[in-house]
Amino acid sequence: QCDVYHPHAGIAASGARKANAIFNPRRRAMADVERALIDGPNAPTVITLSNYVERNLREFYPTAQTATLFNAVDLDKFDPTQHPEAGMAIRQELSIANDAVVALMIAQDFERKGLRQAIEALSLVNDARLWLVVVGKESTAPYRRLAERLAVQARVTFAGPTGKPYDYYQAADLFVLPTKHDPCSLVVLEALAMGVPVISTTFNGATEVMTQGEHGVILPDPLDVAALANALRSMTDNDVRHAMHHACLTLRPRLAYETHLDHLLAIYHPITRNRPPLAQ
C-alpha cells in the first residue's frame, strides 16, 4: 500500500537474477513482492539512489514512476580541516612512511568491491611509495596469500574494522574501490567530501557526481586490472593528486544533507498533494 518505495540496496529483481539466487528463497520472495508492488494498479514512486540504479530498474520495470535521490554526507563529521593530526596517527600506527602514497579501501564483501583486482593492480605499479590500506571486518586470509604470491605483502596493510573512518580518510592520498556493483557507495562520497580523490567504476552510482580526471578516475570495467594499475600509477604524481584534492572539495555542497533533503521534499510534495484521503 506504499506511495514511495526506496530500495537502498538496489532492485530486488536484479538480485534474484544472480546465479546463486536459486539457493536464496528470501531473495526470490522479495523480488516477487517487489514485482507485485511496482507492476500493481497503484504503483508507488520508486526512489533510486543513482542513475545507475534507475537504468537497472528500467530493465525490469520500464514504465515505473521514478525519482533519483543521491546519497548525502554529514559534512560536519567529514570535514578535512578538523583533526588533520588523525591521519598522521594512523600512519604511525600502521608503520607507513610520511612520504608513502596511501591508497585506501574501506569495504565489506571484499570480492564484490574489487580487493583482488586492487592487489593485482598494485603489483603492476613499480613504485615502492604506493601502499594499499584495507579497512573492513571480512576475513583477509585469501587476500594475504594473494599479496604474498604477488610479492607485494610489504605494501598491503589489512587494518581490520574501524569505528573511525575519518582518521583513515585523513591518512589517505587516494581512495580505491573497483567495485562490480554499488548503488551509490557512501564511502566514496565520504572520501570526496574529505578531498580524497577516488578510483572507482561505472558500476558504482556514486561516481556520477565525479568528473573523469578531475575528481579521480572512473573505470568502465572493474575486472580490467591493467587499467586500474594505470589509474593508480597516474595518481602517484603529487601535483595530480593536489589538483584533484581541491576539485573534490568543491563537491561538498552537492553532497550536503541540506541538498539531499531539498530533493527529498521535492519528491514528496506532489505525492502528498495527489494522494486521496484515507477511508474512514
pLDDT of 176-229, one tens digit each?
Answer: 999 999 999 999 999 999 999 999 999 999 999 999 999 999 999 999 999 999
Q: Are 201 and 207 contacting, i.e. CB atoms less than 8 angstroms apart?
A: yes
Q: Which residue has the cell 515505473?
A: 64
Task: Give the C-alpha separation, 233 to 229, whole Å.
Answer: 6
Q: Binning pLDDT at 50, 70 and 90, where does residue 21 land?
A: low
Q: Binning pLDDT at 50, 70 and 90, where does residue 152 land?
A: very high
Judged against a pLDDT cut of 70, whether residue 278 lies above it is answered with no
Say which range, 13-22, 49-58, 154-163, 267-276, has the weakest mean pLDDT: 13-22
Task: Give the C-alpha separation, 175 to 181, whole Å.
Answer: 17
Per-residue model confidence (pLDDT) at position 20: 58
| Chain-centre distance for alpha carbon 44 | 27
Within 8 A by CB and 6+ apart from 237, the residues are none
Question: ∠193-199-200 over CA atoms, to 5°?
Answer: 95
Per-residue model confidence (pLDDT) at position 15: 76
Q: Binning pLDDT at 50, 70 and 90, where does residue 10 land?
A: confident
Q: Are 96 and 159 contacting, i.e. CB atoms less than 8 angstroms apart?
A: no
Task: Give the C-alpha separation, 109 to 134, whole Å.
Answer: 12
Torsion of CA 225, 235, 127, 93, to 10 degrees: -100
Pick from 193, 172, 2, 35: nearest CA to 96? 172
Q: What is the largest CA-CA distance in the chain?
A: 72
Task: Give the C-alpha separation, 44 to 5, whole Å.
Answer: 6
Question: Cell numbers at residue 222, please?
Answer: 572493474
| Chain-centre distance for alpha carbon 53 | 13
Judged against a pLDDT cut of 70, whether residue 16 lies above it is answered with yes
Q: Please compute the mean of the pLDDT values over residues 65-91 and round it to a whole number.
A: 95
Per-residue model confidence (pLDDT) at position 28: 86
Q: Binning pLDDT at 50, 70 and 90, where does residue 277 land?
A: low
